[in-house]
Amino acid sequence: MNTLMTGSCLCGAVKYHAAAEPVITGNCHCRDCQRSSGSAYAPVFFVPAAALSIEGSVHYYESIGGSGAKVRRGFCPTCGSQLFAVAESMPGLISVRAGTLDDTSHYVPSADIFVSQAAVWDHIPDTALKFATLPPAPPTR
């Protein structure tokens, strides 16, 4: 299996490698991503869940996402870093926070979503493909 992308949490207790190219990439500016990350947005890429190998224990917190379906956000129970999310609305896929990549240049955001909820101090490039909430179809890379 070819390892394309690797990453870890802050303390190193959770490591992962994705053996597939991302199928969706984007920065989510929704309020849930702001609160859960403490930042302006969550940069995420989705890979097929079967292609992501996770080492270490991950705790998941469940909430109702912008689509109205359940979203489970996975974090390291030791250091609290957020790494993963599984959305009921996107079966078979798992998202990974791009800031946890060993080489962050592997992440290329294709769109900015939920920009209608962006903080006033957020910075979204004029050139970005933007959606007020969810895109009509998932943005592809």
Please report, as ranges, the residues that interact with Zn ion according to CB under 5 A. 9, 11, 13, 28, 30, 33, 76, 78-79
Residue closer to Zn ion (CB basis): 23 or 40: 40
- What's the min distance (Å) between Cβ of 83 and Zn ion? 9
- The smaller minimum CB distance to Zn ion, of residues 18 and 76, is found at 76
Distances in Å between the Cα of 66 and the Cα atoms of 76, 88, 108, 114 are 24, 11, 23, 9
**Rounded to the nearest whole angstrom, what is the least distance from the CB of residue 80 to Zn ion in the complex?**
7
Nearer to Zn ion, 1 or 136 (CB): 136
**Shortest approach of Zn ion to residue 15 CB, angstroms?**
9
Residue 115's alpha-carbon distances to 7, 36, 57, in angstroms, are: 27, 17, 32
Beta carbon nearer to Zn ion, 13 or 20: 13
- The least CB distance from residue 11 to Zn ion, in Å, is 3
Give 101-104 contacts, CB < 8 A, sequence gap 24+: 101/5, 101/6, 101/7, 102/5, 102/6, 102/7, 102/8, 103/5, 103/6
